[in-house]
Each structure stands twice: as C-alpha cells, then as structure tokens.
Amino acid sequence: MFSLENLCVVLVQARNPLNIGAAARAMSNFGARQLRVVNPYAPAYREARSAVGAADLLAHSQQFGALAPAIADCSLIVGTTAIGHREVQHPLHLLAPGARKIRNHLRKGRVALLFGSEKRGLSNEDLSHCHWLLHIPARKEHRSMNLGQAVAVCLYELARDSTHSKPSEHTPPVRGEKPATLETIHRVSEVLLEAIERSGYVKPRGGRTAEEKLRRMIRRFQLQEADAQVFLGMLRKILWKLDSTGQPAKAAH
C-alpha cells in the first residue's frame, strides 16, 4: 500500500457523528492518520469519538474554527465535489488520475483532502483555498455520495499500490492449483465412459463419437490435478459398484 502518512483528511462542517466516525475508520483501514475537523457540529464530534477501531485516531484528531488554519501546513489543497456548476472555474480531475497527482505530491509534501458538509458540500469560500478538485465518477442521476463512503473510496484509490494493476504479481497463488495433466483427463474420460455405458446412458462401444465428445467435455471442465484425482476415485468406486451388483448393461434393455 502507498503510504498516506503525509495526507490530512479535512472534514468541513460535518454534521453527522456516524460520518465522522466512518471517515476515521476508513483512514485507519488505509493508513491515513491526520484527521482535522473544521467547525463540526459539536455533539457530532463528541459522539464520533467512539468509532469502531479508530478511537485512537479520533482522539488525536484536531479541531479548527476555520479552514485556513486547518490547512496552513499543507502544500497541496484538493477539494472533493459531486460536481456542480459553480466549480467550473477550478481544474477538475477524476479520482483515478487525481489520485496519481496526489501520490506524486505526497512523496515530497503534505496534502489536504477536503470533504464538505453532508448537505451542501464545500462552499465557494472553501473552494477558493483549493488548487484543484477531485471527483468520484458516479452515475449522473445520483452523483452525491455518503460522506463516509466518499472518504473510503478516495482513500482506497490513494492507497492503491501502483503494482496492484498487475494481477499476476499481487493475486496470492491459489493453494494446490495445478491443471490436470492430459493423462489424468484421459483416465477420467475412460472411467466415466465405462460408467455411462454400464448405466445404459450410451450403448457400449458406441463408437469414437461418444468417446470423443466425452473427452472434449471433460477437457472443458478445466479440472485441477488434485480435483481430477478425487473425481477419478469417485468414478472408480461407482464403476466398481455398478460392476459388482449390477447386471450387464445389455440385459437391462
């Protein structure tokens, strides 16, 4: 994960204690530590101090009476927005490319990421402090995200390790996943063929067609070697049972 040590999450006029707590929890999940709240609704801020797994982070959060002092030590200020008309004067970046810009900056300096109040978002006055704006792409019919969820999505994208884009490197190897050998697949096909012949599903020695069809089907199953061996054991036992107690398939017709 990319280190978010230099990131300040700034909640401006948050009203809901659950959202403040949720923001803190997401910060803890993704490794951001500096939470700053500007003019919160006081009871909301007090109540938020009990958020699951983020009590320590909340206890170390800082409270400010205005936005300017809350971001005074930051060298890049980014506001989040669900896009309105008023913001056209600001450069706007979608989350993924915007996050790349922020990560570049975090390597050398402190970045403030601003989230506005649940109801109105960031004010024009707040926006005037921002270098540019960040937008989470969402459906145009319902762009406004819940505050806690917006913080989580932004931090997830920011903490994204650049190497995550290569699936092969980061997907943990699946235990014991090894494709079945052709030999095993042939054996499975053979035993299954005998079993379905014995059951009367196909005629015995029904010719190459049935056999080939069956083998192609078994190949499409994309068996793992370990599974194929288990499956083979089952089929052999079934075949043994058919042989030991059943009558020849022909007689059953």
* Interface with a copy of itself in residues 36-55 (CB under 8 A): 52-54
Question: Could you give the dihedral angle defined by the CA atoms of residues 100, 102, 106 and 107, in that order, rounded to the nearest 10 degrees?
Answer: 30
| Stretch of residues binding a copy of itself (CB under 8 A), selected from 20-28, 59-67, 109-117, 121-129 | 20-28
Least distance (Å) from a copy of itself to the CB of residue 39?
22
Closest CA relative to residue 33, chosen from 42, 25, 41: 25
Least distance (Å) from a copy of itself to the CB of residue 142?
5
- Does 115 participate in binding a copy of itself (rule CB under 8 A)? no
Is 161 within 8 Å of 120 (Cβ atoms)?
no
- Does 68 participate in binding a copy of itself (rule CB under 8 A)? no
Complex with a copy of itself: residue 18 or 186, whichever CB lies closer: 18
Least distance (Å) from a copy of itself to the CB of residue 20?
13
Q: Which of residues 142-161 bind a copy of itself (CB under 8 A)?
A: 142-146, 148-150, 152-153, 156-157, 159-161
- Does 13 participate in binding a copy of itself (rule CB under 8 A)? no
| Stretch of residues binding a copy of itself (CB under 8 A), selected from 36-44, 70-78, 96-104, 105-113 | 96-104
Complex with a copy of itself: residue 100 or 110, whichever CB lies closer: 100
- Does 109 participate in binding a copy of itself (rule CB under 8 A)? no
Q: Please give the Cα distance from 28 to 77 (Å, whole number).
A: 21
Least distance (Å) from a copy of itself to the CB of residue 126?
20
Could you tell me which residues come within 8 angstroms of residue 147 by beta carbon, excluding any fewer than 6 positions away?
11, 14, 16, 19, 22, 23, 115, 118
Residues that contact a copy of itself, how many (by CB under 8 A) = 79
Q: Burial letters for 145-154: b for 16+ Cβ neighbours within 10 Å, e otherwise?
A: bebbebbbbb
Helix (H, G, I), strand (E, B) or coil at 117: strand
Least distance (Å) from a copy of itself to the CB of residue 241?
4
Is 188 within 8 Å of 238 (Cβ atoms)?
no
Q: At what angle do helices 147-159 and 17-30 cross, to 10 degrees?
A: 10
Least distance (Å) from a copy of itself to the CB of residue 69?
26
- Does 208 participate in binding a copy of itself (rule CB under 8 A)? no
Helices (H), 71-224: 95-106, 124-127, 147-159, 167-170, 182-199, 208-220
Among 49, 93, 131, 186, binds a copy of itself (CB under 8 A): 93
- Does 94 participate in binding a copy of itself (rule CB under 8 A)? yes
Helices (H), the chain: 17-30, 42-48, 55-59, 67-70, 95-106, 124-127, 147-159, 167-170, 182-199, 208-220, 225-245, 249-252
- Does 175 participate in binding a copy of itself (rule CB under 8 A)? yes
Q: Which of residues 231-250 bind a copy of itself (CB under 8 A)?
A: 231, 233-234, 237-238, 240-242, 245-247, 249
